[in-house]
Structure 1
């Protein structure tokens, strides 16, 4: 779980901690002080900025410079986080503050308690800025240690308590409560994604999702192989039949008080993806434990919505399977019949995510929601088109654009993508309603969106978020983003749902 976080309005000189965090900007002539840095500078006799310059600090984004206070204050270390260049108005975007807070938290592993002055950046701590400070600070402390032996003896621990300095502590209560809830939801996703597939197989992911749902007070339904067969879920069964560990469908339902709108969430839950008969190359196949990141995200999101008590009805429909090659695996040239009666010729068993999602989308739409949001690590083409940090969003234009706008507020970069009609022709099949994969690799992310669109009823606003890159960080940690599971796109889903609630009022 994330560390504790509280607000304080006590003067800095009366606070005790293992470290103090502050921010500085990057200007054309050198470091740019902030109100927080000025407060520390006074305690250090006016020598802070000169010391930072001597240490080579530039204020660049991602930079954290630590320096000792030599007993001049009640905190032994100052961690100075770079905010980058300020915006046109002289302030800093919330995401810059969020990343600076996260980078500082990561840099202070081994310090049990810290005080952060980042809320002072840009003036009064408005809710948006306070959320950024709190979320970044909490998420930056994340470590996945479930499989580390002797951790307490071998490695320093991340901070366990964080205090945010604000003008009035009582005004920060609601913002910090929300940030704690968001951080806990993101942590749940990261933990699930990082869990090895021998321990997180379909039945186990369904059980953990069900446990999280019951804890949040949700209605829970889990369908096993027999129930899936009786319900006509041919896509989920086809993908799962190659594994000795059978598939599942998890449903979590939240009914909000005075709900004015309803949202269906769907997330891909492939607990491990070998590619099946169309097997993947061995190199980096271990990263395919992350192929259930979409499922983890929608599980955490519906639980988060319940914890926040939002006035909305939300149901998460989560198809879960393991895509393995075996004597019972589905094959290229098989024809799969989905819950709605549509049939797809399988041309690539490694395009399995859309096959399980088709059944889940059909089931989710049977509830007649006002909106449908689906997220998945669907295509390698997403990384080719947009890189590792920017998700692609397709679907109904208005909802697609609302998701992208929410991603900007949340700090999870996304880009609106089209569904060109000429690409749909690549899914035509000579023997079935469609194929599951186009032999032409061009526009693969968009072709995946087209396939999913075939299962969305006419008139239902929907958006598909391809997070193949952003959901799992294979590089070094940065900002508040660790190596491994990132928790994307929980914060965007929440922000989108809140926007839809506001629209319905």
Structure 2
């Protein structure tokens, strides 16, 4: 899909569809492109407002036919909600809803009216948000299907504003963020027999090459030389060779820079502590953390952020093969810590233990790990917010603020020292589960042992990695969370150090 900027008035655009945004206000028809459309239709929108069919409510889309009174014969009006509550995320969602509605009607070209500098955002910010919404909302994962008919496609989109320069500046920013999130979605939606650790490494290499990101793929032999016994312990049960991905963006000075670590379990059976059969197919997405950190590096490089960032992704399957680790086994991580395996289905923290240890070995700081780590976080926060746990409250606040700017919700959970008692082992330095109580927190407490004194935040996305329905920027399936927040975090760090 090609997206361009235009100074032509939106109502004069030669397109198959015109998208206009509406706020939920008493004077809904008094401003911008919606007022112009109402005038062109000789007040024809007023009856829709009076009847409540057009209110500007969030998630509302209204189709209006102009019968030759405007250049575009069909207009989609997408609701933003109340003006006083409107932010960039409302613009993203409205753009996604409106574009999907237009596409459902026919293929062709879409024109979008870019209004709203008076709402406190620049044209560049508004255009960027619109592009994010378009690319995220129009996402499809249908490469393995044989459709009965060719699906509708919006081939071209034009964003219309008097401030063409502002729109042109916003387009690549929004598209880069959404493109990275969609790449993460593609990886997480892919069936696990097609996305083995080796194939994930191949696709990461291609992504890195396309975005001028350095990449190194560490094999099992090299990981063994480094003493990554925790990561390799999980890999023992699978016939698929494990891969440890290292991606680097060098945009800053000589310091090691920021470190992202992502859990890359390309399929999780639970191992010897095998999961129930029901819904096990969803475990193909247990590499969503790795997908997020890999994808974020593409956008960080595209935006040429003046900061050094390294992403680490330990990738393997968790299978119950003959060589698989067993409950009661002992593993030794790269940092020398010994781990008693209580439950082999608590494997994500085992691979991240070595990723965090390696990040410390590289001198990276601060560290953020991303993982579909515990069902407990989904019980606590549902599918609305990603859990944040940290050894540094200021760092956690930065992550949450980056999420607000990206339109991704986070909620911090406590890390009180009393929780450490639950992961004390009688035979090792630590055990890999702490029981049912506070499961998300005790998992984070385990990881904290390997982050050490380095400022660190843990993002448990087990409740937010998958969207159960399509609405706004979310399309049913892999969500792409928290790619855009990781990029925003790096951008904020770069800005703060400038």
| Structure 1 residue aligned with 2:89 | 95
Among 118, 127, 132, which residue is 1:135 paired with?
Answer: 132
Aligned counterparts, 1:486-497, within 5 A: 486-497=479-490
| Structure 1 residue aligned with 2:408 | 412
Aligned length: 494
Among 99, 103, 112, which residue is 1:105 paired with?
Answer: 99
SS at match of 2:24: strand
Aligned counterparts, 1:365-444, within 5 A: 365-395=360-390, 396-439=392-435, 441-444=436-439
Which runs of 5 or more residues in structure 1 are unaligned? Answer: none
- For the 8 Å contact 1:375–1:466, the answer to whether it is kept is yes
Among 258, 275, 289, which residue is 1:280 paired with?
Answer: 275
How far has the Cα of 1:14 moved from its partner?
2.5
**CA 1:350–1:223: 2 relative to 1, 3 Å:** same
d(CA) in 2 for partners of 1:461, 1:391: 19
1:173 equivalent to 2:161? Answer no
d(CA) in 2 for partners of 1:427, 1:219: 37
d(CA) in 1 for partners of 2:36, 2:393: 48
Please, which moves more after superposition, 299-308 or 351-360? 299-308
1:74 equivalent to 2:71? Answer yes
**CA 1:257–1:326: 2 relative to 1, 3 Å:** closer
d(CA) in 2 for partners of 1:249, 1:7: 41
How far has the Cα of 1:54 moved from its partner?
4.5
- For the 8 Å contact 1:201–1:271, the answer to whether it is kept is yes
SS at match of 2:258: strand
d(CA) in 2 for partners of 1:491, 1:145: 23
**CA 1:421–1:66: 2 relative to 1, 3 Å:** same
| Structure 2 residue aligned with 1:503 | 496
1:17 equivalent to 2:5? Answer no
| Structure 1 residue aligned with 2:220 | 225
How far has the Cα of 1:257 moved from its partner?
4.8
CA RMSD of superposed structures (Å): 1.9
- For the 8 Å contact 2:123–2:166, the answer to whether it is kept is no
How far has the Cα of 1:34 moved from its partner?
4.6
Aligned counterparts, 1:112-261, within 5 A: 112-120=108-116, 122-123=118-119, 125-149=122-146, 151=147, 154-258=149-253
- For the 8 Å contact 2:11–2:72, the answer to whether it is kept is no
SS at match of 2:311: strand
SS at match of 1:325: coil
d(CA) in 1 for partners of 2:11, 2:124: 25
SS at match of 2:152: coil
SS at match of 1:280: coil
How far has the Cα of 1:53 moved from its partner?
4.8
SS at match of 1:320: strand
- For the 8 Å contact 1:379–1:444, the answer to whether it is kept is yes
How far has the Cα of 1:370 moved from its partner?
2.9
Please, which moves more after superposition, 395-404 or 249-258? 249-258
- For the 8 Å contact 2:340–2:430, the answer to whether it is kept is yes
**TM-score, with normalisation over the residues of structure 1?**
0.93
d(CA) in 2 for partners of 1:261, 1:497: 14
Aligned counterparts, 1:334-349, within 5 A: 334-349=329-344
- For the 8 Å contact 1:390–1:412, the answer to whether it is kept is yes
**CA 1:7–1:265: 2 relative to 1, 3 Å:** same
- For the 8 Å contact 2:128–2:172, the answer to whether it is kept is no
